[in-house]
Amino acid sequence: MRAVIQRVRDASVSAAGRVVGSIDRGLLVYVGVQDGDGERDVAYIGSKCAGARVFPDAEGRMNLALADLCGPQTERRGILAVSQFTLHGDMRRGRRPSYGAAAAPDAAESLYEALTGWWRAGGYLVETGVFGAHMEVAATNDGPVTLLVDSRKLF
């Protein structure tokens, strides 16, 4: 499982012309599920994203994680999770990406839902896109801060 984590001031995702998920300050997380991923991958990515110390403390150092920022869920601080199978695109040969490593849609959706459930069980506000739909994502990247996480530790 792979994730691209962006620290954002705000982010939203739209499908079929309407906003389906939005957050204020928090993390925009693009999630790609690989063939063979399972619950261990969900826990790894869930923990890495939620625990990423990417928010500034009082001295301006990136020492705070999302849990340190989240108050009442009415503050709209949390995670906007967007499924993105293209994170497993392989461009090593030719110009057209190969998506052979990406999980089949049914398996990927199940693990994507497990990941968002993992975060919700931890008390985080979680907004999502629409799995498998064409989506438009808008975000104000704060920093910018963008990180890559791979449960197989390939990078």
- Residues with active-site annotation: 84-86
Q: Which residues contact 115 (CB under 8 A, 6 or more apart)?
A: 1, 31, 42, 45, 46, 81
Tokens of 124: 């985080």
Mapping DSSP to helix (H, G, I), strand (E, B) and coil, where does residue 74 land? Answer: helix
Angle value at C-alpha 65, between 122 and 129, nearest 5 degrees: 60
